[in-house]
Amino acid sequence: MADLPLDLLLSPWVLALLGLCIGSFLNVVIHRLPLIIERQWWADVSHQLGDADSWRRVFAAKGEPPEPQQRTAKALTSGLEALPHLGIATPRSRCPSCGHAIRWHENLPLLGWLRLKGRCAACGSRISARYPLIEVATAALFAAIGWRFGAQPVTLLWCAVAAVLVALAAIDWDTTVLPDALNLPLLWAGLVAAGLGLTLPLSTALWGAVAGYLSLWSVYWLFKLTTGKEGMGYGDFKLLAALGAWLGWQAIVPILLMSSVIGAVVGIGMKLRASLREGRYVPFGPFLAGAGLVVMLAGTPTVLGWIGWN
């Protein structure tokens, strides 16, 4: 009887409701985190342009940086200081078309979008269907994780992993950036969880992180040395290292196989529809995250059996 409350609280249905709420928060993270990062990049540019000591070291010059460079640094600093505050939690969400502040009942996960029929209550502008899709996808993942791992506290840990993967996949698809602000905590949390005996043996998690990072790092440098081009970003190395820390080194090959095949199919389809972005490439992060979720839910032995390695 003492286990009944936990069975209820961590049941797939309750976790699905939690997933809807977390999915709503992920929509904010997906939209705002890249903007916050880009602001920081511009702040770094401003600082570098105005750093006279660095300018003298790099260019072996004397005196002050050129006047146009100093003016640009000051203009960037002034522009950044004039921007309104932007954080993950504040300010309140607003319609990008008319500035209407989203009321609490309009922001209810899934229900708010359905009630508004996908339109802003003030100006009628279309609200992307991706918002409820992220919420529903997160809810479905949480429910599946509840079914897969059962009513135990570590289930919430796997739900957190899934939430971060959803955010990383969406951000990378939009911006081709996999933020360290999500990647690195995911990696370290996987190693800590293993060290605490919550997931894998620590040695398995550690070698999973090593194998994940070095596998894509090696592909990156082999491609660059043979073609002179960069085939992927360092964020992909870190994401696969994080997946290795959570799922073990045995999961690296299945994740790479699944993500490569699905990514190639999607890329070919986008090419045929002439919908590839500038540079004619498809970000790899969403497929790594998706393959990682498949391995998480199906289990590494099952996935290895699919490819005949079990």
The more confident residue out of 259 and 278 is: 259
Query: What's the alpha-carbon Rg for the chain, to the nearest Å?
Result: 23
Which two structure tokens, joined as six digits, stand for 205? 């998690």
If 0-12 CB within 10 Å is exposed, 13-18 middle and 19+ buried, where does residue 51 land? middle
Q: Is 93 helix (H, G, I), strand (E, B) or coil?
A: coil
What is the model's pLDDT at position 306?
84
Q: What is the mean pLDDT of residues 104-124?
A: 85
The model's pTM is 0.92
* Residue, of 11 and 4, whose pLDDT is higher: 11
> What is residue 176's predicted lDDT score, i.e. its pLDDT?
92
Query: How confident is the model at residue 277, as a pLDDT?
Result: 67
- What does the block give as tokens for 198? 């919550």
Count other Cβ atoms within 10 Å, centred on residue 78.
Answer: 10
Statement: residue 75 has pLDDT above 60: yes
Q: Which helix (H) or strand (E) holds 82?
A: helix 67-82
Contact 138, 23 (CB under 8 A): yes
Residue 1 predicted with pLDDT over 70: no
Label residues 126-155 b or e (16+ Cβ within 10 Å = b): ebeeebbebbbbbbbbbbbbbeebebeeeb
Q: What is the C-alpha to C-alpha distance for residues 37 and 182, in angstroms, rounded to an integer?
A: 12
- In the three-class reduction of DSSP (H, G, I as helix; E, B as strand; rest coil), residue 156 is classed as helix
Residue 120, pLDDT score: 86
Strand spans (E) along 131-241: none
pLDDT at residue 2, rounded to an integer: 47
* The CA-based dihedral angle spanning residues 295, 169, 162, 287, taken in that order and rounded to the nearest 10 degrees: 0
Mean pLDDT of all residues in 156-178 = 96
Contact 235, 172 (CB under 8 A): yes
pLDDT score, position 4: 55
Which conformational region is residue 125 in: left (phi greater than 0), alpha (psi within -120 to 50 degrees), or beta?
beta
Q: What CA–CA distance (Å, rounded) separates 165 from 137?
A: 12
Mapping DSSP to helix (H, G, I), strand (E, B) and coil, where does residue 207 land? helix
Decide which of 95 and 143 is more confident: 143
**Three-state DSSP state, 110:** coil
% of the chain at pLDDT higher than 90: 66
Query: Which residues touch 218 (CB under 8 Å, ≥6 apart)?
Result: none
Q: How far apart are CA 89 and CA 199, in angstroms?
A: 31
State yes or no: pLDDT of 280 exceeds 70: no
Looking at 2-11, 13-22, 285-294, which range is the least confident one?
A: 2-11
Beta bridge partners of 101: 94
Least confident of 7-16, 136-145, 278-287: 278-287
Max distance between CA atoms of the chain, in angstroms, equals: 78
Tokens of 105: 């009942």
